[in-house]
Amino acid sequence: AAKDNYITGDEPYHLRQLSFQFSDGSKGIIQIFTPVEMVVKQVERVILKVSVCSLLILLLVSAIAFTWLYQSIVQPLEKLKRAAVNIKDGNLDFNVITDTEDEIGEVCIAFEEMRIKLKEQIEVSMQYEKDNKELLSNVSHDLKTPITAIKGYVEGIRDGVADTPEKMDKYIRTIYNKATDMDKLIDELFLFSKLDSNSMNYNFAKLNLKDYFEDCVDEISLDLESRGISLAYYNHVPENTIIIADPEQLKRVINNIVGNSVKYMESGRPGHIGIFIKDEPEFVQIEIQDNGKGIAKKELPHIFERCYRTDASRNSSKGGSGLGLSIAKKIIEEHGGKIWANSVEGEGTTMSFVLRKYKECVTYE
């Protein structure tokens, strides 16, 4: 057994007494005297070691916590701050990417998505403004040309140049034709404005496809015949096929496509236009083919953009606002269809669009 006692006095000490038994059975006692001063020094050394270790551990934990705090909170917040300053200055060519997956990381991702969408909207707005300026330039040119011609012929009449009935008739017919071209251009601009602002009112109705296209072809053929252009029409859909469309606007699409084909017919060879109506299970496909000069492959993706002209020369006699195919595209899309083009330079172009068939709903009692 062991007993511990503290002996006080001038030099206190610790007494530890141990009892034991010898091999012959007799008992013995061992007493260990330890000065308290020695114990205190040992305790101080232990406390010092524990304090140093604790400090080192605290510093290490603090360093780890600071690194995590900086990478997870301070750094992303700094990126967000720089991003906000960039946006304020109108600079959107940066990114807000972070590796953190916490709430701040989600804020950074949302901020990056906002930046991308904002940049896309600004780019669209800038392109829209550029197109408007180009449209204004085109219209100014296309209006100035007939106005200049009208002024010239009016001055000729006023100065007595048209001194015969034949010349007078020619001058008046020319003035009338130029004024008609201006009227068509203004109507086209007005229509495009309504389509662009989604303020166009459509009068949708059920149309018998066969009857409707036969009427359109009859009207078109008279104008093409006067221009020396042959027209072929092939309808491969059943006679009772019905579509839902605005008859006036659908006719405008057909006239715009045919007019565009006529405009770019090559001189020196007979012009030809073919209209084909193909039957599909859910829709009908209308193809309008011509044997014009065709469209370059690099230009083909842009022909439905407003103001785009494959003939870049502003001195071209072809004129027009460059809105015809853009108007056609908007009208077809408002009908729930789509429009596209295929072309081979030197051989011709095929414009195609699809319209859904109308099907009666059958109810069972």
Alpha-carbon span 145 to 316, nearest angstrom: 11
24: in domain: yes
| Strand-pair category, 283-290 with 242-245 | unpaired
Boundaries of domain holding 305: 205-356
Q: What is the mean pLDDT of the chain?
A: 81
- The residue ranking higher by pLDDT, 86 or 289, is 289
Looking at the structure, tell me whether residues 209 and 80 fall in a common domain.
no
Looking at the structure, tell me whether residues 76 and 213 fall in a common domain.
no
Is the pTM above the cut of 0.75? no
Looking at the structure, tell me whether residues 347 and 210 fall in a common domain.
yes
> What average pLDDT does the segment 196-201 reach?
80
Q: For the chain, report the end-to-end CA distance as a whole number of angstroms.
A: 104
242: in domain: yes
* Domain boundary residue, one of 60, 84, 108: 84
Domain count, the chain: 2
Report the percent of the chain where pLDDT is more than 70: 84
Looking at the structure, tell me whether residues 209 and 352 fall in a common domain.
yes
Residue 4 has pLDDT above 70, yes or no: no
pLDDT of 22: 79
38: in domain: yes
* Domain boundary residue, one of 66, 84, 102: 84
254: in domain: yes
Reported confidence tier of residue 134, pLDDT bands at 50, 70, 90: confident
170: in domain: no
CA distances from 165 to 43, 155, 168, 278, 342 (A): 132, 16, 5, 52, 49
Report the percent of the chain where pLDDT is more than 90: 24
pLDDT digit string, tens, across residues 266-311: 777 789 999 999 998 889 999 999 998 888 888 888 888 876 665 5
Q: Which of 92-101, 181-190, 293-302 has the highest mean pLDDT?
A: 293-302
| Residue 290 phi, psi dihedral angles, 5° rounding | -140, 165
pLDDT of 364: 45
Residue 217 has pLDDT above 90, yes or no: yes
Looking at the structure, tell me whether residues 216 and 349 fall in a common domain.
yes
pLDDT digit string, tens, across residues 24-55: 878 888 777 777 676 677 777 888 888 889 88
Looking at the structure, tell me whether residues 346 and 217 fall in a common domain.
yes
164: in domain: no
128: in domain: no
Q: What length is written for the chain?
A: 365
* Domain boundary residue, one of 53, 84, 115: 84
pLDDT digit string, tens, across residues 319-364: 556 788 888 999 999 999 999 999 998 889 999 999 999 876 544 4
9: in domain: yes
Residue 97 has pLDDT above 70, yes or no: no
The CATH number given to whatever domain includes residue 351 is: 3.30.565.10
pLDDT of 121: 81
pLDDT digit string, tens, across residues 222-239: 889 888 899 999 999 998
